[in-house]
């Protein structure tokens, strides 16, 4: 029997909530529980349309510091905002006409877009020189319902532990390794090893930074 940290989400020695959520028809009551944990300064691990990710609320500095510690990230690491739709993306990023047309075609999907940040993004999350932010609009039923219920973006990064070559994929392995370090683990089955395709939309021409999951052949020559 797993102990819940529902009432004490920052207790480091307690085990996390472990939620089995159907990947295609997520149970709203379990999504509500995950959102309650996020609202109590929680750190959660959850599935995406690419690999598993780890995240927290956008304004939660304590939870952000915990994620940095788990992944051993320095202050220069740029986190991503997981948004539910293009309207929410527009609150946190500035989008020119060319980028907007491409975004409308690609979302939702396994892409990360680098964009100039708006004033709504906390300064500590910005790229130190470019004042930009990475943003995702995922195509995953669990994550879309989670974002809709939360009512704001998730601050997120890939569940890639120090010295690992690939993101964590197996829910049982995730539980064994991290159940004492996070507050909630959502199990939706095996995750993908592929990370997102990263597209730099900060300047023209738009460029691919990393080719991952997600088809961009309509816009870029990726034959080389």
Q: What pLDDT score was predicted for residue 7? A: 41
User: Mean pLDDT across the stretch 95-105?
Assistant: 95
- Residue 55 pairs in a beta bridge with 44, 156
What percent of the chain clears pLDDT 70, i.e. is strictly above it?
91
User: Mean pLDDT across the stretch 136-157?
Assistant: 97
Q: Which helix (H) or strand (E) holds 86?
A: helix 86-92
5 found inside a domain: no
57 found inside a domain: yes
152 found inside a domain: yes
Which residue, 163, 191, 194, is CA-closest to 175?
A: 191
Most confident of 3-17, 145-159, 209-223: 145-159
CATH number of the domain that 147 lies in?
A: 3.90.870.10
Count of the separate structural domains present in the chain: 1
11 found inside a domain: no
7 found inside a domain: no
Domain range enclosing 62:
17-210
What percent of the chain clears pLDDT 90, i.e. is strictly above it?
80
> For the chain, how far is it from start to end, CA to CA, in angstroms?
52
User: Mean pLDDT across the stretch 75-82?
Assistant: 90
Q: What pLDDT score was predicted for residue 124? A: 75
Strand spans (E) along 47-196: 53-57, 80-82, 111-116, 132-136, 154-158, 184-187
The pTM of this model reads 0.89
**Residues 13-61: pLDDT tens digits?**
467 899 999 999 999 999 999 999 999 999 999 999 999 999 999 989 9
Is pLDDT at 67 greater than 80 in this prediction?
yes
216 found inside a domain: no
60 found inside a domain: yes
8 found inside a domain: no
């Amino acid at each position: 029997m797993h102990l819940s940290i529902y009432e004490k989400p920052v207790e480091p020695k307690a085990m996390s909530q472990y939620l089995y959520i159907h990947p295609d028809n997520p149970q709203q009551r379990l999504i509500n529980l995950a959102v309650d944990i996020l609202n109590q300064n929680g750190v959660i691990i959850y599935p995406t349309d690419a690999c598993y990710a780890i995240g927290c609320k956008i304004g939660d500095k304590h939870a952000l510091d915990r994620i940095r510690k788990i992944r051993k990230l320095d202050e220069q690491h740029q986190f991503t905002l997981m948004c539910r739709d293009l309207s929410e993306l527009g609150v946190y990023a500035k989008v020119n006409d060319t980028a907007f047309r491409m975004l409308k075609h690609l979302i939702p999907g396994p892409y990360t877009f680098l964009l100039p940040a708006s004033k709504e993004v906390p300064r500590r999350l910005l790229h130190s020189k470019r004042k930009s932010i990475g943003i995702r609009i995922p195509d995953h039923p669990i994550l879309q319902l989670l974002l809709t219920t939360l009512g704001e973006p998730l601050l997120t990064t890939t569940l890639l532990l120090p010295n690992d070559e690939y993101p964590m994929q197996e829910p049982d392995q995730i539980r064994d390794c991290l159940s004492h370090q996070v507050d909630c683990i959502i199990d939706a089955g095996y995750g993908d090893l592929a990370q997102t395709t990263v597209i730099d939309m900060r300047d023209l021409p738009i460029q691919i930074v990393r080719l991952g999951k997600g088809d961009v052949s309509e816009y870029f020559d990726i034959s080389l």
